Structure 1
Amino acid sequence: MVTADNGIAKEIKGRIKSANRCIYSLHNTIKSKSLTQTSKIRIYKWVIRPVLMYGYKTFTLTKETERKLRCFEKKISRRIFLSYQDIVQEIKSQRLRWAGHVHRLPNNGLAKLIWKDAPIERRNDVHNCDGERIY
């Protein structure tokens, strides 16, 4: 959910919560000594990380949201004993890859039209009936 000030902090918080639920549901599997570290990494990359990164193409990453994502990533890395992988860098590279796909779309494609479109005029401030500014 994007707020009026284009903040995505609530969405990031929700994504981290969902990924935490996923981690705890797989707790016994991740702590299992019978699984190799490679298998645990695959579980993380194929099951948990997609939950965390769902909707990443629309994330507006601020320093605070980057910090939260990195903290979660480090926590998971410590839990399954793997080296630290920067989630923020992964999100940025995936967004860049997506921008390349959009760039190669035909000029009349909806995604390309939206991507290239810039607001023509500034939107007026909206006030409620009490005269308070909403956004």
Structure 2
Amino acid sequence: MKISVSKTKSMTISKDSLRCKLAIDGTIIEQVMSFNYLGVEVTSDRDSNREVRAQASKGAAISGYLRDVIWSNRYMLLDNKIRIYKTCVRPILTYAAESRSDTSKTKQLLRTTEMKTLRQICGYTLRDKKRSTDIREECNIQDIVRWTRDRRRYWRDHVNRMGDNRLAKITMTSKPSGKRPVGRPPKRWRECWTSTSQEQ
């Protein structure tokens, strides 16, 4: 196997910044604190807020490109606009959400970005004082947080059907060793579809 030293980066996953010195043939590998992998920003401190914020910015940008062409088009049916939203915008907002643990901040970012797009599709503004639930019913679309939770449960069932030697199955069923750091523990992935508090 050949490795390109100039293109290879290293990163440690830790709450605190750690220095990991790696070298290949005497050349030190550059260590980074974050990198973009398949559209997802992976950080060393596992900051999901930064990841979701970046996806929300991309989704809002795509929605802005479609505003004058699609959302404001009076000759296009509402159902067709919603289908375009589900095809072009929502996948960007929820990419890799099946394996991510949501927090109250990430859920707020997703809902805010989605409702901004749905209001443009329906022709409403915040001055109209139209409730978000009424707009979703008019568009016949599920809340993006609940939709993401359903996708997370679907991924759980998919992993459960895998063999015990598969990496995804081992990752889901195994428990990490060692002591947890001091402070409030981060939200676990399993809690995002099993806890009743996640229904909101």
TM-score with structure 2 setting the length? 0.57
Q: Residue 101 in 1 paired to residue 158 in 2?
A: yes
- Summarize the Cα distance change of 1:22–1:114 in structure 2 as closer, same or farther, 3 Å threshold: same
Post-superposition shift, 1:69? 1.2
Q: Name the structure 2 match of 1:76.
A: 117
Distance 2:181 2:110 in 1: 34
Q: Name the structure 1 match of 2:96.
A: 55
SS at match of 1:90: helix
SS at match of 2:147: helix
Show the 5 A alignment for 1:39-50: 39-50=80-91
Q: Residue 12 in 1 paired to residue 64 in 2?
A: no
Q: Which runs of 5+ in 2 are unaligned?
A: 1-41, 123-133, 137-141, 183-200
Q: Residue 21 in 1 paired to residue 61 in 2?
A: yes
Sequence identity percentage: 28
> What is the RMSD computed on CA atoms of the aligned residues?
2.0
Deviates more, 1:16-25 or 1:52-61: 52-61
> What is the letter of the counterpart of residue 41 of structure 1?
I
Deviation string for 1:16-69 (max 9, x for gaps)? 000011111112222111211111000001111001111112322111211121
Q: Which structure is larger by alpha-carbon Rg, 1 or 2?
A: 2
Distance 1:53 1:40 in 2: 19
> What is the letter of the counterpart of residue 103 of structure 2?
T
Say which structure is richer in helix: 1
Q: Name the structure 1 match of 2:71.
A: 30
Distance 1:120 1:96 in 2: 25
Distance 1:63 1:123 in 2: 22
> What is the letter of the counterpart of residue 57 of structure 1?
E
Aligned length: 124
> Comparing both chains, which one has the higher relative contact order based on Cα–Cα distances under 8 Å and sequence gaps of 6 or more?
1
> What is the letter of the counterpart of residue 79 of structure 2?
T
> What is the letter of the counterpart of residue 74 of structure 2?
K
Distance 1:19 1:102 in 2: 28
Distance 1:95 1:36 in 2: 31
